[in-house]
Amino acid sequence: MTTNQDGVTHQNMHTGTVPPNMNHGGHELFDVHEVLSSAIGALNQAILLRPHVKDPELLDILDRQYRFTLDEYNITVECFKSGHDPSHPTSSYKMKEGNDFIYGMKPGQPKKPITNASEITDEIISGFLLGSAKAGASMKAMAACEVCNPVVRRVLADSVPNCIEMAYELAIYQNKHHYYQVPQLASQDMTQLLNAFAPAGQPGMPPLQ
């Protein structure tokens, strides 16, 4: 602590190195808390939804994603508390679905909220899971930009592609079952947009030494 000529006391700023478990900034602490709280919410939601799943394929997706997310949650907590590398590196999530979307719209009944828990369906459950995966990708990407601790930053950054892969798997599942339809633009409009950009030439700057 220091006191200036007016008698006002100030807290000295940290200088030099700090212990790994204290190598965290204020924004980082709040953002990682949000990430971990959201992960708990997603895991709890999966446990609550699991007994209502009817499709074995969706159940397999839920179980695989749950186990993977739980492991990522544990290693994030581990490195967040210690500041050191977790007990094992972040794994890469591998989905079982293919990557072919069905394009086009088919007529169907308008969607609306359910009014009773007994109305829950695989479409609703897969939608919940998709929302959690997309939220995880967004939150982890934002948090990683605020992290000071290099280990925590790497663990969060490495987790983002896994959330994207889970969301992609669920989107393909929904699309295959016509829960999530993908419209396309007319061929002429699509071609115009695809050709709306061109590569840039070399800037008029001296070459790098």
Residue boundaries of the structural domains of the chain: 21-100+122-186
At residue 8, φ and ψ (nearest 5 deg) are -90, 130
Q: What is the mean pLDDT of residues 58-80?
A: 96
Whether residue 59 contacts residue 178, with contact meaning beta carbons closer than 8 Å, is answered with: no
Q: What's at 6, amino acid-wise?
A: D
Most confident of 3-12, 75-84, 164-173: 164-173
CA angle 133, 137, 140 (to 5 degrees): 130
pLDDT averaged over every residue in the chain? 88
- Mean pLDDT, range 94-123, rounded to an integer: 89
- In tens, the pLDDT along 169-207 reads 999 999 999 999 999 999 999 999 999 999 888 777 776
The confidence score (pLDDT) of residue 96 equals 84
pLDDT computed for residue 12 by the predictor: 47
Residue 104, number of CB atoms within 10 A of its CB: 9
Least confident of 15-29, 113-127, 164-178: 15-29
- Residue 5: is its pLDDT beyond 70? no
At 44, which helix (H) or strand (E)?
helix 26-49
For residue 95, the SS3 value is coil
Cα–Cα distance list, 93 to 61, 65, 81, 145, 165 (Å)? 11, 8, 24, 22, 7
* CA–CA separation, 188 and 28 (whole Å): 47
Topology (CATH level 3) of domain 21-100+122-186: Ferritin (1.20.1260)
pLDDT surpassing 50 at residue 2 = no
The residue-averaged pLDDT of 82-108 equals 88
pLDDT recorded at residue 15: 47
Is the predicted pLDDT of residue 106 greater than 50, yes or no? yes
The structure tokens 């109305």 sit at: 119
**23 by DSSP, 3-state: which?**
coil
